[in-house]
Amino acid sequence: MSAPAPARRWPLTCPRPSAIRSNARLPDLEPAAAKELGQNALLNSSQLLKPSAKPPQVLRNEIESVLISAPRLARRINALARRIETDFAGRDLVVVALLNGTVMFLADLLRGLSLPLRLDFIGVSSYGAGIRPGDLIFTKELRLDVRGRDVLLVDDILDTGRTISRVMAKLRPLEPRDIKICVLLDKPSRREERINADYVGFAIPNHFVVGYGLDYAERYRNLPFVGVLHPQLYKA
């Protein structure tokens, strides 16, 4: 058994639900990436998000930079929620979220949605603790009936597209009326499958990102921001 890791602290600046609601009239502050990705257009590198700030001192050996701060996440997620509310008004909506990485994004997105909806989860994960994509395993199956309903599939990151592609192949035979894909992060440069998201929080370059639900070897999910992992942690 290995010795426990030393306790680490960082500023807990995650937006409270009230903070998200009070920003309800803020404009969408990521218009370039959102518009382009919303129209499934190709991105060039100048349109992708760039690292913005240094992480808290105690994390600087592990987190190279903050890519998306907590306030920026809150503003963008609020804008996504407004769009989803408009698009799904009057529909029979089932939100299907993919475990585990989506938990932070999902919680903030759902609190921003005033639509009636149902919620269920699919557990899906790649084998191993490393960064190379491996085989997928399903750890939890969908329980709600989605036949004839509008599904909003929510995930934290669209990377190679293998996960969402496999999940779509499971969902389509269940005969939902429609399936739309919503992801917080999109890494278009790594795509292997022909998958595009309908709702994208941020298009990002090919950095190894952690925090706000995303992990490396199951760590860093609780960071309140999206950060870039220091390459020394995963490069031998």
**Contacting residues toward ligand PRP, per CB under 6 A:** 98, 100-101, 125-126, 133, 155-163, 215
Closer by beta carbon to ligand PRP, 92 or else 215: 215
Coil/strand/helix, residue 169: helix
Closer by beta carbon to ligand PRP, 69 or else 160: 160
Q: CB of 213: closest distance to ligand PRP in angstroms?
A: 8
The DSSP secondary structure of 29-89, one letter per residue, reads: S-HHHHHHHHTT----GGGS----BPPPGGGTTTEEEEEE-HHHHHHHHHHHHHHHHHHHT
Q: Tell me the CA distances in angstroms from 163 to 26, 125, 204, one per residue in order.
A: 33, 8, 18
Q: CB of 160: closest distance to ligand PRP in angstroms?
A: 3
Q: CB of 111: closest distance to ligand PRP in angstroms?
A: 20
Closer by beta carbon to ligand PRP, 112 or else 161: 161
Closer by beta carbon to ligand PRP, 34 or else 104: 104
Q: CB of 199: closest distance to ligand PRP in angstroms?
A: 15
Can you tell me which residue has the tokens 């084998």?
127
Q: CB of 87: closest distance to ligand PRP in angstroms?
A: 23
Phi, psi of 70 (to 5 degrees): -60, -45
Q: Looking at the annotation, which residues are catalytic?
A: 159
Q: Please confirm whether the linkage preceding 206 is cis (ω < 30° from 0).
A: no
Can you tell me which residue has the tokens 């278009």?
188
Can you tell me which residue has the tokens 């499958």?
193
Residue type, 166: R
Closer by beta carbon to ligand PRP, 22 or else 40: 40
Q: In 3D, which of 84, 177, 162 has the Cα closest to residue 126?
A: 162
